[in-house]
Amino acid sequence: MKVSLFITCLGDVFYVNAGKATVELLERFGCEVDFPETQTCCGQPAYNSGYHKKTKAAAKNMIHTFAHSEYVVSPSGSCAYMFHEYESLFEGEPVWQEKAKKLKEKTYELTQFLTEVLKVDNTGSEFHAKATYHTSCHMTRLLGVKEAPLKLLSNVKGLEMVELPNRESCCGFGGTFSVKMPTISEQMVDEKVEHIEETETEVLIGADGGCLMNIGGRINRKNKPIKVMHIAEILNSRGEV
Amino acid sequence: MPMHIGEKEFTKRVDKGLEDDFMRGAVRSAQGRLQTNRANAADELGDWEEWRSLGQEIRQHTMENLDFYLQQLSDKIAELGGHVYFAETADDANNYVSEVIANKNAKKIAKSKSMVTEEIALNDILEENGCEVVETDLGEYILQIDDHDPPSHIVAPALHKNKEQIRDVFKEKLGYTKTEKPEELTLFAREKLRKEFLEADVGITGCNFAIAESGSFALVTNEGNARMVSTLPKTQITVMGMERIVPTWEELDVLVSLLTRAAVGQKLTSYVTALTGPKIEGEVDGPEEFHLVIVDNGRSKILGTEFQEALHCIRCAACINVCPVYRHVGGHAYGSIYPGPIGAVLTPLLGGYDDYKELPYASTLCGACTEVCPVKIPLHEQLVKHRRNIVEEEEKSDLAERLAMQGFSIVAGSGNLYKLATRMAPLLVTPFVKDGSISKGPGPVKPWTDIREFPVPQKQRFRDWFKNREKGGSERAKRGN
């Protein structure tokens, strides 16, 4: 099965290990992974801030980039969902809308792809730690991927999962919200970190670069002994850590 | 700005909210309780999603045929001997109510809870006219005696106060001597209010839903005060937003079920009162004179636009009860009597972008609001549409942001420029990196690093790793490995 990786800008620049793990994981389950070089950012920062005309250049580039892909897989629910927004972005432009629809139909978030397309519930992974999982808002509510990551994590050997209190409440990232309204964002991320601490776990697992950058950034600022990891890193682990 | 509350500047209101530990404690505990109750009540129905779809259909159908149903309602009320007044603006509505009251020579007005009268600031006008207005909903009563503290929530207006604060208000203003036990506080208010009901010349109520086919209107309460307000005084005035209407009693049934479950997690509230016109011969209860004031105040301008769904709102506040931003800043920070996600959608529509352009940005777009809305208003999408209008139609975003977005658009639109930019990123931030992290970022990164560490861009980007690996892979393949 041929899979094109949509790495996301955060994945390309900051969270390179999560990207590596994603590739290895997909290959382990028989996928032939390619990385279309012309990919950029999905345009979400502009779109969600209201700059819809300025989002179109990014969207068109992404539509071209993945035009010939069989499947598009991304290690981020939020960015994968942005591909779903392109259809409404090109309202009134039927040609682009049709292309956007095709892209949407073949785009998956990583854990969604593993469970829905590859029918994998158990990645045969091994990771020895006590951990908790942050459910990202866009992935859960907008993309509708709720059970997949939890199911996959529950089958990781050696991993003890503790449910995060108020797990569905937003971490306060919200893209440009985090810098436009930093004081509110701070309170939100602090509450999230408090809940993570309540679980008394050593690892926070997430499936979205934005949330991890926000929560991880706050954890580091406060020098909390909690490691922040992307779910791909856990699922790709074979017990070597 | 009748809808407006508090400081003019958004950031000042937010800071005030964030600093108010009492309020935040009260909001946190109320949100927790209301969220759990709502979720349980929704689960209990079994097919909540179907109910929501039905609610959405009803509201959509009603808005698409609003002129028809308003006419039907109005004809029916006239037939029953009531008076109907269509108020285009807040002033029109306030003037009409003032006239009715002046004609009756009335001095004492008993009121039940109504957001639309808050929206048009009716109480202020009536008080200027020399009337004594008594709010009879417990929450509104508390706020009124606390020097007209504005509501911070559309269902529980005094949600920002805890029971100790309420005790202190009663003590200071009314000479209350007992404890902060809710039962004692309520009993005290009940005794005070009973007298007011009996003395009032005119009763003013809001309207949860008007029923077009019968010319009735329904009030949903837990205290029974609305029933008293609408039966004891001789003259009754009901003020409704023009969208608060259902075609028949069947639709009322569906919407009330959705409302009570979504609002407070109850199957039904203690009272659902429906009144049909003034008292007729042979009837014992009810007002002798009945006036319905239907308020437009900007609503008809929303009809037929991409924001029409905002008019579907049945004022349950479920979106407010799950909103993580509301949780921390409280209702007053929105600067509008309509707070939370629905407030951030509705307020700029009714009050304009000039005064409320920050509200659509007071959301992380987490979608919790949209998920719980009992009539499926896509609230977070409406917030994005507002943002688009503010940026592209009103051009009210700031210059630095516009320039940044212009740059973003160029770079994200080109694979080559993007590659170059991501290759440059580690070099550009090098001066700011300390111990593998960025604690004090430059320019646009500063608001981020005021609170959080910023990650360091990797020297080997993912794409570099992938390319190298592919090379390695093809070499391995050549070696037959």
B316 labeled binding residue: yes
Distance CA B281, CA B299 (A): 37
Scanning the structure block, which residue is given the tokens 């940044």?
A: B404
**Mean pLDDT value of segment A39-58:** 96
Q: What would the CATH number be for the domain defined by A2-116?
A: 3.40.50
Q: Please report residues of B whose CB lies closer than 8 A to that of A11.
A: 462
Scanning the structure block, which residue is given the tokens 């993945």?
A: A66
8 Å CB contact of A182 and B425: no
pLDDT at site B481: 45
Question: Three-state DSSP class for B240?
Answer: strand
Distance CA A225, CA A239 (A): 21
- The whole-angstrom distance between B10's CA and the closest CA on chain A is 11
Tell me, yes or no, if A84 comes closer than 8 A to chain B by beta carbon: no
Q: In this structure, what is the dihedral angle of CA atoms B61, B62, B67, B72, given to the nearest 10 degrees?
A: 120
Neighbours of B25 (CB within 10 A): 12
Q: In this structure, what is the dihedral angle of CA atoms A195, A200, A206, A212, given to the nearest 10 degrees?
A: 70
Rg (CA), chain A: 17
pLDDT-flagged residues of chain B (< 70): 1-2, 473-481
Scanning the structure block, which residue is given the tokens 């109510």?
A: B97
Measured in whole angstroms, how far is the alpha carbon of residue A83 from the centre of its chain?
13
Measured in whole angstroms, how far is the alpha carbon of residue B291 from the centre of its chain?
26
Please give the C-alpha separations between residue B191 and each of A34, B186, B195, B202, in angstroms, as whole numbers: 75, 9, 7, 20
CA angle B168–B173–B175, rounded 5-degree value: 80
- Among B452, B456, B469, most A C-beta atoms within 10 A, so best to mutate, is B452
Question: Three-state DSSP class for B303?
Answer: coil
Positive or negative torsion for Cα B225, B230, B233, B236: positive
CB-based contact A6:A73 (threshold 8 Å): yes
Residues in chain A: 241
Q: Has domain A121-235 been given CATH number 3.40.50?
A: yes
Three-state secondary structure string covering A124-136: CCEEEEEEEECCC
Q: Are strands B83-87 and B289-295 parallel, antiparallel or unpaired?
A: parallel
Which residue does chain A place closest to B407, by CA atoms?
A54
Scanning the structure block, which residue is given the tokens 């407006």?
A: B4
8 Å CB contact of B364 and A179: no
Please spell the DSSP secondary structure of A79-119, one letter per residue: HHHHHHHHHHHTTT-HHHHHHHHHHHHHEEEHHHIIIIIS-
Rg (CA), chain B: 27
Tell me, yes or no, if A54 comes closer than 8 A to chain B by beta carbon: yes
Q: Please report residues of A whose CB lies closer than 8 A to that of B357.
A: none
CA angle B313–B318–B324, rounded 5-degree value: 120
pLDDT at site B475: 63
Tell me, yes or no, if A13 comes closer than 8 A to chain B by beta carbon: yes
Distance CA B55, CA B258 (A): 7
Largest CA distance in chain B: 103
B319 labeled binding residue: yes
- Among A16, A87, A189, A219, most B C-beta atoms within 10 A, so best to mutate, is A16
Distance CA B168, CA B146 (A): 10
Which residues, 6 or more positions from B366, have their beta carbon under 8 angstroms from its beta carbon?
A137, A138, A141, A169, A170, A174, B324, B380
Distance CA B360, CA B352 (A): 12
Three-state secondary structure string covering B353-416: HHHHCCHHHCCCCCCHHHHHCCCCCCHHHHHHHHHHHHHHHCCCCCHHHHHHHHHHHHHHCCHH
- Among B49, B361, B428, B462, most A C-beta atoms within 10 A, so best to mutate, is B462
Give me the sheet containing A227-230, strands edge to edge: A157-161, A126-133, A203-206, A227-230
Please spell the DSSP secondary structure of B323-335, one letter per residue: -HHHHHH-GGGGS
Neighbours of B83 (CB within 10 A): 16
Q: Where are the domains of chain B?
A: 22-302, 415-478
- The whole-angstrom distance between B444's CA and the closest CA on chain A is 8
- Among B38, B393, B451, B461, most A C-beta atoms within 10 A, so best to mutate, is B451
Neighbours of B247 (CB within 10 A): 18
pLDDT at A215 over 60: yes
B34: left (phi over 0), alpha (psi -120 to 50) or beta: alpha
Residue A64: band (very low, low, confident or very high) from pLDDT cuts 50, 70, 90: very high
8 Å CB contact of B456 and A45: no
- The whole-angstrom distance between B125's CA and the closest CA on chain A is 36
CA angle B428–B434–B439, rounded 5-degree value: 85
Which residues 103-142 of A have a C-beta within 8 angstroms of B? 137-138, 141-142
Asked whether the domain spanning A121-235 has the same topology as the one spanning A2-116, the reply is: yes
Which residue does chain A place closest to B15, by CA atoms?
A183
- The whole-angstrom distance between B343's CA and the closest CA on chain A is 17
pLDDT at site A78: 97
Distance CA B362, CA B357 (A): 10
Q: Please report residues of B whose CB lies closer than 8 A to that of A23.
A: 466, 469
Residues in chain B: 481
- Among B408, B420, B456, most A C-beta atoms within 10 A, so best to mutate, is B408
Q: What is the mean pLDDT of chain A?
A: 96
- The whole-angstrom distance between B212's CA and the closest CA on chain A is 36
**Mean pLDDT value of segment A231-241:** 88
B313 labeled binding residue: yes
Question: Three-state DSSP class for B157?
Answer: coil
Tell me, yes or no, if A223 comes closer than 8 A to chain B by beta carbon: no
8 Å CB contact of B454 and A37: no
Measured in whole angstroms, how far is the alpha carbon of residue B63 from the centre of its chain?
19
For the stretch B208-249, pLDDT in tens is 999 999 999 999 999 888 888 888 889 999 999 999 999 999
8 Å CB contact of B361 and A180: yes
Q: What would the CATH number be for the domain defined by B22-302?
A: 3.40.50.10420
Q: Please report residues of A whose CB lies closer than 8 A to that of B451.
A: 182, 185-186, 189, 217-218, 221
- The HSE-up count of residue A188 (CA atoms within 13 Å, CB side) is 27
Task: Read off the tokens for A57.
Answer: 């250049």
The minimal CB distance from B408 to the residues A46, A52, A216 is found for: A46
A12 vs A241, residue with greater confidence:
A12
Measured in whole angstroms, how far is the alpha carbon of residue A229 from the centre of its chain?
12
Element (H, E) at B238: strand B235-241
Tell me, yes or no, if A168 comes closer than 8 A to chain B by beta carbon: yes
8 Å CB contact of B364 and A52: no
**In one letter, which amino acid is B138?**
L
Distance CA A191, CA B17 (A): 16
8 Å CB contact of B408 and A41: yes
Q: Please report residues of A whose CB lies closer than 8 A to that of B461.
A: 12-13, 16
Q: Please report residues of B whose CB lies closer than 8 A to that of A35.
A: 462-463, 466-467
Residue A208: band (very low, low, confident or very high) from pLDDT cuts 50, 70, 90: very high
8 Å CB contact of B448 and A217: yes
For the stretch A98-112, pLDDT in tens is 999 999 999 999 999
Q: Tell me B458's DSSP state.
A: P
B323 labeled binding residue: yes
